[in-house]
Amino acid sequence: MAMVCLSDFEAYAKKYLPKLAWDYFAAGADDCKTRDENITAYKRIHFRPRMLRDVSVMDIRTKILGTEISFPVGIAPTGFHQLAWPDGEKSTARAAKAMNACYIASTYSTCTLEEISMAAPGGLRWFQLYIHRNRAVSQQLVQRAEALGFQALVLTADLPYTGKRRNDIRNGFRLPPHMKLKNLERDFEVCKMSLIDPSVTWNDIYWLQSLTHLPIIIKGILTKEDAELAVRHGVQGIIVSNHGGRQLDEGPATIDALAEVVEAVGGRVEVYLDGGIRKGSDVLKALALGAKCVFIGRPALWGLAYKGEEGLQDVLRILQDEFRLSMALAGCASVSEIGRHLVQFSRL
C-alpha cells in the first residue's frame, strides 16, 4: 500500500502492532477528549492565502536555540520505542539525523543515552527529564546527557502523577520481559511511574540550572500564568503541550493554548508545540500562531512501526513536502514570511 499521508502509517501501526503496544501509544486520559481535540482543533483554523507571490524558490529551514534544522518539525519525547521497532530509539536517532531534525530522547527510553548517541553521532538531540524522588538518579541522568553532547534539557512539568489511561489498566500494561528502561535502575516498576517526584515546583528549575550548563526547556505549559513563571525562572524555551491528551482530560487543545502562551512570552524565549500535528498544513498553522517549531509524538511511533528508521524518515519527508506545499499555496516563500495574518478562526 502506498504511504501517502500520516494516517496511512496510523492505519498500518494499528493493524500490525500488538494490541498492548497499540493501546499504550494511542491512549488518552479518561474519555480521551483532549487527545481527540488536539486534532480537531486544527479544523477550526482557516488560512487567508495570498496570491501572485513568487514562490519559485522555497526556504523551509529554521533555527531552534541557534541550531539550524531542515524544517520546523522535530520528534517529541515518547517512551518505549522498542514496542514499535526492535532497534527502538537508535532507529529514531538515525532517522532524525538523516532528516536534520531535532530528536528529544525520553527518560523512559528502551535504549541507553549512550546507545542513542552512538547510533547517530552529531545529530541534534535534546534530553527529556522527569525529576525522580531520588534526586541523585535525575542528577546523574542530566550529567550523562550533557557529557554525551545532548544540547538541551527538556523538563516535563505535567506529570506529578500518571493520568488514568483506561485501556492500559484493562490490559495490565507492562513492558515485555526482554525490554528494560535502560536509563534507570533495572527493576524499575514501569506501570506505576511511582518514582516520579510529585513535589516538584518552579524552584527546582534553579536546582537543575545548578547541575548543568545546558539550556532548559519546560514542556507542558498551557496558560499565560505558567508561561510568565517559566520566563521568570530563566528557561530558554517552552513546549506548549498537554502530553498528547494523556494527563488531564478536558484541558485545552495545544493549538488553542498556543496564542495565549506566545503573547505572554513576548519573544523573550522560543515557544514550541506538540500534540495533534498530522499534516504539513497543521505545522503552518502552528507557526502562524507563533510556534517556532512543532514536535510529533505518535506519528513518529507509527513510522517506526512501519519500517523502523526508514519508516520514520518517510513520515518526516511527507510532513516536509506537505509543509513546503502549504507554504507555497498560502503565498510564503520562507519561514520568516509566516505570521498571524495567515490564519483566521472559523466562527462557531
Instruction: State residue 194's pLDDT score.
Output: 67
Domains and CATH numbers, the chain: 6-345 (3.20.20.70)
Binding-site positions: 24, 77-79, 106, 128, 130, 156, 165, 219, 241, 243, 246, 274-278, 297-298
Task: For residues 59 and 339, give the distance between their C-alpha atoms in angstroms, rounded to a whole number.
Answer: 15
- The CA-based dihedral angle spanning residues 264, 266, 271, 273, taken in that order and rounded to the nearest 10 degrees: 50
In our burial notation (b when 16+ CB lie closer than 10 A, e otherwise), range 42-64 reads: beebebeeeeeeebeeeebebeb
Among this protein's residues, is 243 annotated catalytic? Answer: yes
Catalytic residue among 81, 132, 243, 341: 243
Query: Which parts are annotated binding residues for FMN?
Result: 77-79, 106, 128, 130, 156, 219, 241, 274-278, 297-298
Q: Residue positions in the annotated binding site for glyoxylate?
A: 24, 165, 243, 246
Which residues of the chain fall below pLDDT 50? 187, 189-192
Which residues are paired to 109 by β-bridges?
none
Number of neighbours of residue 77 by Cβ within 10 angstroms? 24
d(CA 116, CA 56): 38
Containing 68, the helix (H) or strand (E) segment is strand 67-69
Cα–Cα distance for residue pair 198/210, rounded to 1 Å: 20
What is residue 187's predicted lDDT score, i.e. its pLDDT?
43
Contact of 241 with 254, CB cutoff 8 Å: yes
